[in-house]
Amino acid sequence: MNYQNLQAETSDGVATLRLNRPEVLNALNVPTALELVQALEALRRDKSIKLLVVTGAGRAFCAGGDIGEMQASARRFFRVGLSSLHRAIALLGHFPQPTIGAIRGPAVGAGMNLALACDLRIASDTLKFQQAFVHVGLTPDCGGTYWLPRLVGSARAAEFVLTGRDVLATEALSLGLVNQVVPDAELDAVAMAAARKLAALPRELLARQKRLLLAGQKNNLAVQLRAEKAAQFESARSAYAQARLLAFLAQRGR
């Protein structure tokens, strides 16, 4: 499918979704928001996909909402654009297969929160996270007040939201906002290598892992234990698990 503001491609079970407005640091306008929803809905229906990589073209992941469009057409941006962005965040956060954010340069405001909606985040050493909303008199959107407290705790989340200060790569790694930091020139290769390594696993196994992690965000312990038991029974019956268990026993017996 062709998009104006995105690039979407699939290879060997790995889908890549790239924000493609590098001239404005991939700022999110209404057409981009609508295309994100369209692309994510199409990708989640694609049974060949085992893993999704989300990234940005050029030197930035995403500079957040397009300020120029906010000023020129505020009503359309905040009614149509924001509703679509929130739909896209929900689709990404509940994507049926694992997701990896490959993040370089600025990931600001809604751009930061788009990155946080991914399951794993690999960052360039040029990364700059910022909850920039307070600097323009706005409040967080696109899941910022959902993801941040879960990732860094309520006090640190409040600090980031209320001050809008920069969080650079080293600090983001130490706080668990990203899983790995690599030199900028290596980001795309490292992210794709990680994606392909995971995509070597069975699609159904990856989907079960993802479902359990999502369920654990809302279930109490008893309910989650039942979900884990059901998933484990299903996994243990698979040909993949049977082969891996036999291989493990053979290796241990040497």
Q: How confident is the model at residue 254 (pLDDT cuts 50, 70, 90)?
A: low
The fraction of the chain above a pLDDT of 90, given in percent, is: 92
pLDDT of residue 136: 95
pLDDT tops 80 at residue 253 = no
pLDDT in tens, 85-112: 999 999 999 999 999 999 999 999 999 9
The domains located in the chain, with CATH, are 6-199 (3.90.226.10), 203-252 (no CATH)
Q: How confident is the model at residue 113 (pLDDT cuts 50, 70, 90)?
A: very high
Inter-residue contact 121 to 127 (CB < 8 Å): no
